[in-house]
Amino acid sequence: MHRFFVEPEQVGQEEITIIGNDVNHMKNVLRMKPGEIIGISDGSGIEYTCEILELNKEVKTKILTCLDARRELPSRITLFQGLPKSDKMEWIIQKAVELGVYEIIPVATRNTVVKLDKKKEENKRKRWQAIAESAAKQSKRLYIPQVGALMSFPQAVKRACDMEVRLIPYELAENMAETREIIAGIRPGQSAAVFIGPEGGFGEEEIAMAMQAGMRPITLGKRILRTETAGIAVLSVLMFTLEGEPAAAEKSRE
């Protein structure tokens, strides 16, 4: 069953209207017809099963059932990813979305090699957002994580200051027992920031700035992980730490 995302204002008492790019995709790519059944989410934690009524400039659907799926993690995790080389960012975004990340912020650090002008940055961000949306649909997320604008390291640190948990894996950090204790102490409902350096890692002055802002350096073990591996490793651990049992209740609209 194909799944689509809508804004809350598109959801009515008995019908949901699909607008925008999905309309063309449904009509001309998927060749969908009235009577077909689809899944729809409005990002609120409710998943709707709907029947297509008509496909014109908009797609009208009838709500058949709604499911309180609770598929999202109980904490909002923001990944501050040091901008990597080549197309690694696309892979990172895809996997981070699958693991439940709430938001992804690309960060330019001292060791960042890739340089993006404003035009390239906007084109990249559109591409990255499309990947996030595709990954959200594939993994049956009820929310599409946003890929933010590129930030400098100081801007990213300032942005993270309001988050309750702030983690920065660092290759010179030690004490795995302390890292386990920090991770185990994270509670559902807390917001979390995870900072990952690009190829070459963070500079010493960046780590110092992060620690001054209250971030906790953590170790990911005795092996040095690539930038595309480190964030996924942290997100995987956080997912298992925070994931609760799904509480699903389905209601019929018929």
Average pLDDT over residues 2-23: 92
Q: For residue 126, give both structure tokens.
A: 């559109």
Average pLDDT over residues 6-13: 90
Alpha carbon distance 199, 230 (integer Å): 11
Is residue 89 classed as helix, strand or coil in its secondary structure?
helix
Burial of 58 (0-12, 13-18, 19+ CB in 10 A): middle
Average pLDDT over residues 161-181: 91
Phi, psi of 179 (to 5 degrees): -60, -45
> What is the model's pLDDT at position 247?
45
Is residue 249 scored above 90 in pLDDT?
Answer: no
Q: Do 193 and 107 form a contact (C-beta atoms < 8 A)?
A: no
> What is the model's pLDDT at position 67?
79
pLDDT tens digits, one per residue of 175-192: 899 999 999 889 888 999
pLDDT tens digits, one per residue of 188-246: 889 999 999 999 889 999 999 999 999 999 999 888 899 999 999 999 999 999 987 54
pTM of the model: 0.77
Average pLDDT over residues 143-168: 94
Phi, psi of 114 (to 5 degrees): -70, 130
CB proximity list for 201: less than 8 A, separation 6 or greater = 111, 170, 171
pLDDT tens digits, one per residue of 76-107: 999 999 999 989 999 999 999 999 999 999 99
Average pLDDT over residues 40-60: 90
**C-beta pairs of 52-56 under 8 Å, 24+ apart in sequence:** 52/26, 53/15, 55/23, 55/26, 55/27
Is residue 28 scored above 50 in pLDDT?
Answer: yes
Cα angle vertex 211, ends 116, 82, to 5°?
20
Alpha carbon distance 17, 53 (integer Å): 10
Average pLDDT over residues 133-148: 91
> What is the model's pLDDT at position 246?
47
